């Protein structure tokens, strides 16, 4: 049951491991849910487990994109590794860039998509966690990051990739705890059992 992260040896590895771990924890809360349960609103929160997962995906992708862009700029390269000025075939279009800004500012809609299922959202979250960890392992941690325009960021004139990584860990950890509460409210399942299921382990464990 992976409540604790693997051991880390460097700052880059520590940030990558802890950031990915929190996204993984959100993914564990979705196991075995039906579409109806993903849409269920069991508390006064505006979030359901499905919309919370979508929000975490938007936030995680936003932080990943910001980390890559800031690192590339600090190294005088485009996001795909070419020299500045070269065409970047992987550069996001204007809609994607707008979505990233919305996510970082807390303005993304977080709505479920027609084809979303628990399994598809878990797969997307796991992929997003891997991408975030990869970006952080190769990041220029002192590189500056533009501060999104939002009232709750007032007074913050300059971010660094290091600060963004720590903020990402903090934000997603809060959402992971929120997801735990929502899941228990939906069907009584809780984090210990869900982590065991995710690892293919029996629950409860022997001699529990």
| Residue 12 confidence (pLDDT) above 60 | yes
Fold assignment, 11-198? 1.20.120
Give me the pLDDT at residue 109, please: 55
Of 104 and 33, the structure prediction assigns the larger pLDDT to 33
pLDDT, average across residues 90-99: 40
Give me the pLDDT at residue 83, please: 52
| Residue 10 confidence (pLDDT) above 60 | yes
Q: Inter-axis angle of helices 49-74 and 118-137, to 10 degrees?
A: 20
Question: Taking the mean position of all CA atoms in its chain, how far away is CA 71?
Answer: 19
| Residue 107 confidence (pLDDT) above 90 | no
pLDDT, average across residues 23-45: 96
What is the chain's Cα-based Rg? 18
Query: Dihedral through CA 196, CA 200, CA 204, CA 206, nearest 10?
Result: -120
The answer to whether the peptide bond before residue 77 is cis (omega within 30 degrees of 0) is no
Contact 8, 14 (CB under 8 A): yes
With bands split at pLDDT 50, 70 and 90, how would you rate the model's confidence at 148?
Answer: confident
Give me the pLDDT at residue 208, please: 79
pLDDT, average across residues 97-108: 52
Contact 182, 33 (CB under 8 A): no
Give me the pLDDT at residue 86, please: 42
| Residue 140 confidence (pLDDT) above 80 | yes
How much is the pTM? 0.84
Q: Is 185 exposed, middle or buried (0-12, 13-18, 19+ CB in 10 A)?
A: middle
SS (H, E, C) 109-154: CCCCCCCCCHHHHHHHHHHHHHHHHHHHHCCCCCCEECCCCCHHHC
Give me the pLDDT at residue 92, please: 37
In whole angstroms, give the CA distance from residue 87 to residue 79: 10
């Amino acid at each position: 049951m992976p409540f604790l992260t693997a051991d880390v040896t460097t700052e880059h590895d520590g940030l990558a491991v802890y950031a990915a771990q929190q996204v993984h924890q959100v993914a564990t809360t979705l196991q075995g849910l039906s579409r109806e349960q993903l849409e269920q609103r069991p508390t006064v929160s505006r979030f359901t487990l499905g919309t919370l997962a979508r929000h975490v995906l938007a936030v995680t992708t936003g932080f990943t994109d910001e980390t890559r862009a800031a690192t590339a700029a600090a190294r005088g390269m485009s996001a795909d590794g070419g020299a500045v000025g070269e065409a970047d075939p992987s550069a996001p279009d204007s809609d994607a860039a707008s979505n990233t800004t919305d996510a970082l500012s807390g303005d993304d809609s977080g709505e479920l998509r027609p084809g979303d299922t628990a399994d598809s959202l878990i797969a997307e979250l796991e992929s997003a966690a891997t991408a975030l960890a990869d970006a952080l392992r190769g990041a220029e941690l002192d590189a500056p990051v533009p501060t999104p325009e939002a009232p709750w960021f007032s007074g913050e004139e300059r971010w660094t990739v290091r600060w963004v990584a720590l903020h990402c860990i903090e934000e997603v950890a809060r959402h992971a705890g929120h997801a735990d509460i929502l899941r228990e409210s939906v069907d009584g399942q809780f984090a210990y059992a869900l982590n065991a299921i995710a690892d293919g382990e029996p629950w409860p464990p022997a001699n529990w």
